[in-house]
Structure 1
Amino acid sequence: MTNVVVIGSQWGDEGKGKIVDWLSERADVIVRFQGGHNAGHTLVVDGVSYKLALLPSGLVRGKLSVIGNGVVVDPHHFVAEVEKLRAQGVAVTPDVLRIAENAPLILSLHRDLDAMREDAASNSGTKIGTTRRGIGPAYEDKVGRRAIRVIDLAEPETLPAKIDRLLTHHNALRRGMGVNEISFDALHQELSSVAEHILPYIDQVWRLLDEQRKAGARILFEGAQGALLDNDHGTYPFVTSSNTVAGQAAAGSGLGPTALGYVLGITKAYTTRVGEGPFPCELHDEIGQHLSTVGREVGVNTGRPRRCGWFDAVLVRQTVKTSGITGIALTKLDVLDGLDELKICVGYTLDGKEIDYLPASQAAQARVEPIYITLEGWKESTVGARKWADLPAQAIKYVRQVEELIGAPVALLSTSPEREDTILVTDPFEG
């Protein structure tokens, strides 16, 4: 029995919600370890759809759910999401939900700054494509050692000095942007208004998880976004503001890396990305439109359409290495049903030279051209397949080709949005 880290192996939106829910039924504890409410999962349980952005998906199944210190927490969104779940009949109490006391807070000034920067960048043609939810500015304050953290809400006598330090930085930025400064009283009131809603859930998460591990609990670490949006290993600067690779599960939860165990990379059978940035295999033709329409490629939380393209084995192979992926969960295979032929990117050309990796240079990333192999498609439907024998021969050939090219086996294969339509090859918890 082992603990499992779930990450997206591409740019996010790989269908982690279904797989995480499928695994959470087998887990005892579910942990969010990075990101904020800028990425979401849609879970369908007994016909009811739950849309989560910040809260761990284990809550829907009554499992102990933990928001780790690597997450930036918007207290206003936290309250709204808790209330939404309760309205759907989900019990959300401190018995099943804990928040790391050292997690940083996202405040209204972070959302303001995020939006102002994106507006300015849009006007100059240099926008990153953030969700404008304050994630990046909150992480900046964390590493700048001026963040207000969850634990600070429990110590009101220390807040004034921390508010002053935070406003010294933000009001200087606001003056430079020509917008009104934020008053001490306004920020103090904002913090005071959310304290009672957050404080009942705080805990020493590092201790809690260590106790759970020693007691033999199965721990599921639930990542947000995808590894190609990692601040170090992604398509910088078109990335998120946190580390999204598997190693962050240790740093973002306080549980040491020796406890992580199996790393499951959720991998879409084609490639999508939301927002700006390089996308070597992007399709602007009828095939791209087909993938978008059949795959219902729209962001869960943002509503933004996803860009679509062929499967890029170069990128996933690189993620297998940077995240130490043990096996993948291949999702949305059914979206490829009916296509006459399929292509897989196996390398790039850069200025006339063949390469087998995505370069770190932003300029080089924009210049790479994909090298494809072509496979025969299949006309039969794969929807609802629950064993290999249910799959067309060409679909199996496609899956085997993906495994060979990325250097990792398929542990699970998803053939529809329904959680039971999953072919289990290897149980990650037994991995």
Structure 2
Amino acid sequence: MLLAVVGLNWGDEGKGRMVDNLSADADYVVRYHGGSNAGHTIHTDQGKFKLHSLPSSVMRPEVTSILGPGMTVDIEGLLAELDALAEHGVDPERLLVSHQASVCFPFHRDLDAAEEERLSHGQYGSTRKGISPAYGDRVMKKTLLVGELFDKESLPARLASVVDWANERIEKIYGGTPLLLADVEQWAAEVRERLEPHVVDVTRLLTEALAQDATVLAEGQLGALRDLYFGIYPFTTSSNCLAGHAPVGMGIPWAKVDRTVGVTKAFSSCVGAGPFVTEFDEERADRLRRQWGEYGSTTNRPRRLGAFDAVATRYGARMQGADAIAITNLDQLTGTGELQVCSGYERDGRPVAEFTTSPAELARMKPVYETFAGWDEDISGARRYDELPRATRAYVEGIQRLLGVPVRYVSVGSHRDALIEIETETGTETETGTEGN
């Protein structure tokens, strides 16, 4: 079985906690795109962990966690994450890296930052983790694949070509100091030794696993609105965030996704630039941001906040092919008063029902809201859907009606056991994720 867990919005939806929970029933979890610009926060009995390159299943030692060929691997960052986990007594010995994934070099981060500075007020809101130039180099056939680090005969010539191309941009476009080939060769030698035990042929491994009826979970990064092709371009990431791309990015392009869980917050949040139709005014956003701790997991940048946007989320659910919805951070809405949900847009006083990915068009849209009663009761201790206040359930069911996809999960807290699974077929609810590691 192939399951995908993906974001429906701009990212930061809480996918990490969903992957951590659902991976309890998985044999393999595979990151299929992106790189160290991911920011997944996991809460377990061992503490709170912020992951970037690592799949969100690494806290489960029985699960094999994989960085797929669709990723660009920040090797330095990956090794640093492994060291940080080791300090907490966690040894992700079953972590594997595809030999076909791209290498994200340290200079890619420098190029990323230099381009954002060059853009000045026209910045895209990059995390400056090197993702865009690293993916660009893959498309230009100017970077290295992970497996090439271990071909010592061909590596010197390949690295020379990579460094030469990097220096063309560093010197001529950004006026920086050129790289020294010897320094890059030394870097490659240092990281190669530590990385080698983890590098495998992922396609062969997963082909055999699926033939034996293993459960494989594809972990998405960011969300549908940041997808390179179907997001709000150019305010997107540089990879394909959609579940439809998961088999390709995992290395099993012939496979079919059997089930897709689309994750969204109970409100809207966004890190980075671009149009945001339901955005709160800065005073309200700042107050809620401080109250909720809404800062980016990777950059610690303040998240932009707004009312739940059912128009954008419905588009995200359709593009992801979601057959189940997970609503996270529901507990954060407690005590905030009446709640508004954007059910449609208006442009020049005329209704607009469908989402557009054109930034210029989105900038002209005005939200049309439905208002729901809020609640003051603490819901963080609820473990069954029927334990939630009536107003909370009405809010969840209103979102479900507007999205047209069953809400299967609601999160009422950060820990593993604070996730309620709703058995929509029977109308009964079950508690999930209560086991610890």
TM-score w.r.t. the length of structure 1 is 0.94
Which shifted more, 101-110 or 155-164? 155-164
CA contact under 8 A between 1:38 and 1:135: conserved in structure 2? Answer: yes
**Separation in 2 of the partners of 1:160 and 1:352?**
63
CA contact under 8 A between 2:406 and 2:424: conserved in structure 1? Answer: no
TM-score w.r.t. the length of structure 2 is 0.93
- Residue 383 (1) aligns with residue 380 (2): yes
Partner of 2:132: 136
Partner of 1:194: 191
CA contact under 8 A between 1:30 and 1:66: conserved in structure 2? Answer: yes
- Residue 179 (1) aligns with residue 176 (2): yes
- Residue 4 (1) aligns with residue 38 (2): no
**Separation in 2 of the partners of 1:232 and 1:392?**
40
Partner of 1:148: 144
Partner of 2:434: none
Deviation at 1:196, TM superposition (A): 0.8
Partner of 2:428: none
Paired letter, 2:195 = I
Cα distance per residue 1:368-390 (max 9 Å; x no partner): 11111112222222222111221
Deviation at 1:258, TM superposition (A): 3.9
- Residue 90 (1) aligns with residue 90 (2): yes
**Separation in 2 of the partners of 1:19 and 1:175?**
44
Name the SS of the counterpart of 2:154 in structure 1: helix
**Separation in 2 of the partners of 1:351 and 1:151?**
55
CA contact under 8 A between 2:127 and 2:298: conserved in structure 1? Answer: no
Consecutive unaligned residues in structure 2, runs of 5 or more: 426-437
Question: In angstroms, what is the RMSD of aligned CA positions?
Answer: 1.7
Name the SS of the counterpart of 1:348 in structure 2: strand
- Residue 399 (1) aligns with residue 396 (2): yes
> Which of 353, 358, 377 is the aligned partner of 1:356?
353
> Which of 300, 305, 308 is the aligned partner of 2:302?
305
Which shifted more, 270-279 or 51-60? 51-60
- Residue 32 (1) aligns with residue 25 (2): no
Partner of 2:332: 335
**Separation in 1 of the partners of 2:26 and 2:180?**
45
Name the SS of the counterpart of 2:102 in structure 1: coil
Name the SS of the counterpart of 1:380 in structure 2: coil
Query: Percent identity between the aligned chains?
Result: 39
- Aligned pairs for 1:212-291 (under 5 A) are 212-256=209-253, 258-284=255-281, 287-291=284-288
Deviation at 1:137, TM superposition (A): 0.5
Deviation at 1:285, TM superposition (A): 5.4
> Which of 135, 139, 160 is the aligned partner of 2:156?
160
Cα distance per residue 1:77-132 (max 9 Å; x no partner): 11111111111111233xx111100000011221111111111222xx10111111
**Separation in 2 of the partners of 1:84 and 1:213?**
32
CA contact under 8 A between 2:26 and 2:217: conserved in structure 1? Answer: yes
Partner of 1:371: 368
Deviation at 1:343, TM superposition (A): 0.6
CA contact under 8 A between 1:272 and 1:306: conserved in structure 2? Answer: yes
Name the SS of the counterpart of 1:343 in structure 2: strand
Partner of 2:433: none
Name the SS of the counterpart of 1:330 in structure 2: strand
CA contact under 8 A between 2:8 and 2:313: conserved in structure 1? Answer: yes
With over 3 angstroms needed to count, the CA separation of the structure-2 counterparts of 1:353 and 1:150, relative to structure 1, is same
Deviation at 1:191, TM superposition (A): 1.4
**Separation in 2 of the partners of 1:109 and 1:30?**
29
Paired letter, 1:36 = G
Cα distance per residue 1:190-243 (max 9 Å; x no partner): 212211111211111011111111222211111111221111111111111111
CA contact under 8 A between 1:247 and 1:257: conserved in structure 2? Answer: no
Cα distance per residue 1:279-321 (max 9 Å; x no partner): 1000015543443233210111211110101000001100111
Partner of 1:118: 116
Name the SS of the counterpart of 1:162 in structure 2: helix
